[in-house]
Each structure stands twice: as C-alpha cells, then as structure tokens.
Amino acid sequence: MCGIVGYVGQKQAKDVVIEGLRLLEYRGYDSAGIALVHDNALATDKKAGKLANLEKAIAEAPLPSSTTGIGHTRWATHGAPNDVNAHPHAGPQRRVAVVHNGILENFARLRDELERAGHDLLSETDTEVAAHLLENEVRAGADLTTAMQNVCRRLEGAFTLVAVDAEDPSRVVAARRNSPLVVGLGDGENFIGSDVAAFIEHTREALELGQDQVVTITREGVEVTSFDGSPAEGRQYHVDWDLAAAEKDGYDWFMRKEIFEQPRAIADALLGRHDEAGLLQLDEVRISDDELRDIDKIVIIACGTSNYAAMVAKYAIEHWTRIPCEIELSHEFRYRDPILTRNTLVVAISQSGETADTLMAIRHAVKQKAKVLAICNTNGSTIPRESDAVIYTHAGPEIGVASTKGFLTQLIACYLLGLYLAQVRGTKFGDEIAAVVRELAQMEDRVQQVLDDAARTYALAERFRDAKSVLFLGRHAGFPVALEGALKLKELAYIHAEGFAAGELKHGPIALIEPGLPVFCVVPPRGRDQLHDKMISAIQEIRARGALTIVLAEGDDTEVTPYADVLIPLPTVPTLLQPLVATVPLQLFACELATLMGHDVDQPRNLAKSVTVE
C-alpha cells in the first residue's frame, strides 16, 4: 500500500529514490513520483502508471542534481490514479513537497478550511491538504520538523508522511501514525522507507519508529520526537537479508522465484526451534507457560492468504491441543463484539505485519486483555511490535504481491505453535511431538519434489489458457488449499475461480458444473480413509456431469486414478501437513497461466501487497 522513500546524503538523491521505489513498487503501482531539493526550489516529476513511466519522463526531461529527495509509488485511495493525483504534492508556493501513505480521515474538513482561506487545491487527494498545511507552517517561520509536529497533531486517520522544504536541503522529515515507516542508518547519509527494501542496497542498519513519532534525517544524524515535540527514541536493529534477496535472481517474476525458494524458506522457518533435549522452544513467545496453560480459547485472525493459513492452523491446533479455536477475518473480528478474556489467545497472522485490518483487530484484543501472539514475516513491523509474543516465519523478503513462501512458512509457524502448546499443556506425549517435528523437517524435501515436477503443471496452464472459470475442491485441511488455489487464480489470471469444501458441492455449487469445466480436486492422503473415500465420491459426482478433473493426490493412490482426467502426484505426507505440498502446484499453475495470458504476475491489477488502510 504505497511505497515511500526519503534520502539525504552525498549521493544523487534521484538515483537513490528511484532505486528505492523500484524495490518498493510491489506495495502499490498506480503512479509514481519524485521531489528533489535543488537551489532553494523543488524539482518534481510524477506520472500515472508504473515506475517505468516516471523513469521514462525523467530520461526525457532530466531532473537537476540534488542530494535531498523523496519519492512515492501509489496505491490509490483518494482520487483516481492519474498524473495530478500522483504524489508528491506541493504547497501553494511549491516550497514544501509531501508524499503520503494512508488516509487522512479529517481531510474534507481541513480542505474546506484551506479553501476558505483562499488555497487552491489541484488534486482530489487528501495528501495535498497536508502539503498546504506544512507550507503554511514553514512560511510562518517554523522549521520543517516543528511544522510536521504541528500538522500531525491536527491530522486524524492513518498516515506516513515524508516531506522536504525547498529552503532547507539539509533535512527530510517524516511522521507516522498507524502506518509503516523505517529509517535506514548510513554513514554521512540517512534514509527513510516504507520498509527496509527501500535502502537495503545502502545499509542494513535500521531504526523502527513508534506510534505518533516524527523523525528528522540529515547527513549527520537522525532525531526522533513525539508529535508534541518531546524527545523520543526508535529501536535500532540489523536487517538479516541483503539486496540479493530483494532481486529476481534470473527468474521472470519475483513470485516464481519465491515459489522455488519455498524449500529453503521452510528449512529456515524450522531452524533452531528445539533445544538439545529435543524439546520445542519458541524464543520469541514471551507468554509464560503458566499463562499458556490457562488459555481456554484461541482466535486466529488474518486476511487474504494468511486467513487460509489460519484455517489450516485450526485443524492442527484443535487436534493437538484440544483448545477450541476460532478463525475470523480481521476486518470482521472486532465488529461482531467477540468474547475475549485474559485466557483467550488471539493469534494474528500477517506476512507484512502491517495489514491495517489485522492491526486494528489486535488492538481491540489487547484492550479486552486477551493475549496476542503474532505470526509474521517482517521484523520491525507494527503487528509483532504491538503483540505480547511473536513467531517470525523467516521466509526472507516476499516481493510478489501474491503470497507464496509467506503462506507456507506461516503454516510451519502455526504447526510449531500448536505443537508448542501441546508440549506445554501435555496434550501430546514428547515422542508424538518429536514425530511431527521429524515430519516437518522432511517437508523441505517433499516440497522440492513437487517443484521438480513443475513442468507438469506448466503444461496444464498451457492447456487451460482460455478457461473462463476454474473450480477447486478440498476437504478438511485441503479445503483452505482449494480456497487458496482459487484466490491465486483470481489475483493473477483475473478469471472466475472458486474454492469449495467438497462436501458442500451437492448443496448448491454442483449446479456450476458443465461439460469441460476444469476442477482441481485436492485428495486427502489415504491415511484418512473416510475423508479420502468421500473426496473420491465428490470427484465421481462432478465427473458424471462432465467436469474435467485435475486431481492432486498421493502419487501411488491407484483408487483415484480412474477418476482423474489429469493427475498431479503429491508426496505422501500426514493429512495435517498436506497443505504444504498441495498448495505448491496451485501456485505454479496460477503463476504460469497469468504469464501465458500476458499479465503482470508480480503486480496484479488493483492489488497491493501490504494493505495499510482499513
């Protein structure tokens, strides 16, 4: 959801800003813009569409040399994604330029106030209001830092703002409330970004900011204050990945690269999770064993793909711990007035750690005194920071908008959480837990096995490149896999796709079946004989009505072969862990089909990776 960059140092700010935007473009790509400070004036350019459009414009009309600048890549909220609404926005005299991520909820009132005072606002955005307010302040004599503090106290909503003042090239000033912002600490230069990818090429030392803080970066240093001007501090940390991890590494898409990184990501997610005696340990879970023993209900909240990880987690956690486990979409959670007590564990799953719906949901849970545990991939992000405990998924940066390795490593974290709770509460014997952990350790190879067979799925994508609709069926832990397969296809190929619980088919969706309709069927392992057999019945039912069945089943499952028009063999794994292998062909299928259709796989239309508005 919008990428923002700020730089002050000795390098050409244009190069640093554009490169930073390139690495942040996954956050939003409706338009892009840049503002540089040069010779007591602003030099700006902005263009609708992807960053490439802005780069082309700059190549045709070069910007002046400057070592202070800001930039933005947008996911539109207020106003259509056109040149005028693109950021940066400038004040009336073009002295201050601002980029913004978030929504200023009281912007209509502020805009009205400005217009009545004679201001002429050019765009439909809420951001331009902030630019005018800031410029009023600096023209009245405030420095940009004080101006930002004063303006932020008047703003409502969620925002990250980054600004420059044409008459003060020494500083870039930023502020955050409920929206991501990190500072990159360099030598003789400092950076601002929506996330560390913006500056990872230059430094791996970062500073995370708290809520309602203003940060001023100069060449010499970084100063953090609260909105009221009182001194404040950020938390410094080292980023454990580098530029290479944020590059495509020879793949056509980040998404494809990330799909193929999954074996390694699984291994990393499992690393160091048990002690010498073989007991599971989750160092980051700072909730005491006594408190965990008192938990009488778990509520897992998440959005999008992370919500499907939550659905899988329910099957595993309830089975292993016997603790009732609810799943709820984050944006629905607090509005239904959920019953939460001190003994409720709320688990928030978020790859980015910044999804506003999930953040607001955990704040509600914290107010109700529930314990909150985050499962997150992004160190320094807001959701883990505001939680009592966190399990990091260690997948490395996920740039493709459609989540892949983020999802698989969330599953690993959920399994670990379930087993850890079972260990603490004694609902599973140590050898039973150790057996599952051994199975998990093998998943790296199992997923690799599926990836080695990618050509089979790619051929399928070629065969169905003209499909208008695709269905996905699953049961038990295979049901969320079916939902995820359908979501991937909607996100990337923009075709109608739906996932159903196979048992629900006969209650309505079977009416959708018509001759030739491709239906992916995720068959549970034969170890769960009843589930397995019922799934086969469902496949027979749709096949009898002309569906073309693409069956994902254990490679040597001969019972299902007669009903499979196409068979995608899966390795034999326990039922609860099957989503780790069954999801992978569906990711490959969506990625390949979208590629064949000529879509931008990493940046699908209308989407953004990290949705920081509610």
Active site residues: 2, 609
Q: Measuring CA to CA, which residue among 432, 407, 410 is closest to residue 419?
A: 432
Task: Say how far apart CA 4 and CA 32 lie, in whole Å.
Answer: 10
**Residue 101 within binding range of ligand G6P, rule CB under 6 A:** no
Q: Which is nearer to ligand G6P, 303 or 552 (CB)?
A: 303
Nearer to ligand G6P, 331 or 425 (CB): 331
What minimum distance in Å lies between the beta carbon of 480 and ligand G6P? 13
Q: H or E element: which one contains 242? A: none
Decide: is 174 part of the binding site for ligand G6P (CB under 6 A): no
What is the nearest approach in angstroms of ligand G6P to the Cβ of residue 176?
18
**How many residues in the shown chain lie near ligand G6P by CB under 6 A?**
16
Determine which helix (DSSP H) or strand (DSSP E) holds 47, and give its type and residue range.
strand 41-48
| DSSP characters over 209-241 | --TTEEEEE-SS-EEEEETTS-B---EEEE-S-
Q: Does 538 interact with ligand G6P (rule: CB under 6 A)?
A: no
Contact assessment for residue 19 and residue 175, using Cβ atoms and an 8 Å cutoff: no
Of 150, 358, 379, 612, the residue at the interface with ligand G6P (CB under 6 A) is 358
Compute, in degrees rounded to 10, the torsion defined by CA atoms 564, 566, 569, 573: -50
* Distance in angstroms (rounded) separating the CA atoms of residues 587 and 548: 19
Judged by CB under 6 A, which of 203, 305, 423, 457 binds ligand G6P? Answer: 305
- Nearest Cα neighbor of 589 from 256, 252, 240, 197 is 256
303 forms part of the interface with ligand G6P (CB under 6 A): yes
Q: Which of 20, 169, 193, 304 binds ligand G6P (CB under 6 A)?
A: 304
Q: Which amino acid is at 354?
A: E
Among 43, 98, 129, 611, indicate the residue that binds ligand G6P (CB under 6 A).
611
Residue nearest to ligand G6P (CB): 304
Question: Which run of H or of E encompasses 117?
Answer: none
Minimum CB–partner distance for residue 222 and ligand G6P (Å): 27
SS3 per residue for 134-182: HHHHHHCCCCHHHHHHHHHCCCCEEEEEEEEECCEEEEEEEEEECCCCE
Q: Are 184 and 199 in contact (CB under 8 A)?
A: yes
Q: How far apart are the C-alpha atoms of 11 and 14, rounded to whole Å?
A: 9
Q: With CB under 6 A as the contact rule, which of the stretches 208-216, 254-262, 268-276, 344-352 interacts with ligand G6P?
A: 344-352
Q: Is 401 in the site for ligand G6P (CB under 6 A)?
A: yes
In this chain, which stretch among 18-26, 31-39, 388-396, 397-405 interacts with ligand G6P, using CB under 6 A?
397-405
- Which of residues 355, 379, 423, 575 is near ligand G6P by CB under 6 A? 355
Residue from 344, 350, 549, 587 binding ligand G6P (CB under 6 A): 350
CB 70 within 8 A of CB 163: yes
Minimum CB distance to ligand G6P, residue 330 (Å):
8
Q: How many CB atoms lie within 10 A of CB 110?
A: 19
Q: Least Å distance between CB 542 and ligand G6P?
A: 28
Strands 213-217 and 222-226: antiparallel
SS3 545: coil
Question: Whose Cβ is closer to ligand G6P: residue 85's or residue 306's?
Answer: 306
306 contacts ligand G6P (rule: CB under 6 A):
yes
Per CB under 6 A, does 610 bind ligand G6P? Answer: yes
Residues 6+ apart with CB under 8 A from 542: 473, 505, 510, 513, 519, 521, 549
Amino acid occupying residue 99: V
Report d(CA 520, CA 470) in Å as an integer. Answer: 8
Tell me if 214 sits within 8 A of 233, measured CB to CB: no
Binding to ligand G6P by residue 387, rule CB under 6 A?
Answer: no
Residue closer to ligand G6P by CB (options 305, 387) is 305
Closer to ligand G6P by Cβ: residue 85 or 305: 305
According to the binding rule CB under 6 A, does residue 374 interact with ligand G6P? no
The stretch near ligand G6P (CB under 6 A) out of 110-118, 317-325, 537-545, 606-614 is: 606-614
Shortest approach of ligand G6P to residue 258 CB, angstroms? Answer: 12
Closest contact distance (angstroms) between CB of 358 and ligand G6P is: 5
Q: Does 393 bind ligand G6P (CB under 6 A)?
A: no
Nearest distance from C-beta of residue 306 to ligand G6P, angstroms: 4
User: Which residue number, 425 or 490, has a Cβ lying nearer to ligand G6P?
Assistant: 490
Question: CA nearest 348: which of 375, 327, 326?
Answer: 375
Question: Which uninterrupted H or E stretch holds 568?
Answer: strand 566-570
Q: Smallest distance, Å, CB 394 to ligand G6P?
A: 15
Q: Is 402 in the site for ligand G6P (CB under 6 A)?
A: yes
SS3 assignment, position 614: coil
Minimum CB separation of residue 27 from ligand G6P in Å reads 10
With CB under 6 A as the contact rule, the residue among 73, 218, 403, 578 that binds ligand G6P is 403
Residues 393 and 377: beta-carbon distance below 8 Å: yes
Distances (CA, A) of 123 to 80, 313, 606: 10, 45, 21
- Binding of ligand G6P at residue 382 (CB under 6 A)? no
Give yes or no for residue 352 binding ligand G6P (CB under 6 A): yes
Measured from the CB atom, the residue of 24 and 130 that comes closer to ligand G6P is 24
Nearer CB in complex with ligand G6P: 26/563: 26
- 609 near ligand G6P (CB under 6 A): yes
Query: Which listed range, 44-52, 158-166, 347-355, 519-527, lies at the site for ligand G6P (CB under 6 A)?
Result: 347-355
Interacting residue ranges for ligand G6P, rule: CB under 6 A: 303-306, 350-352, 355, 358, 401-403, 607, 609-611
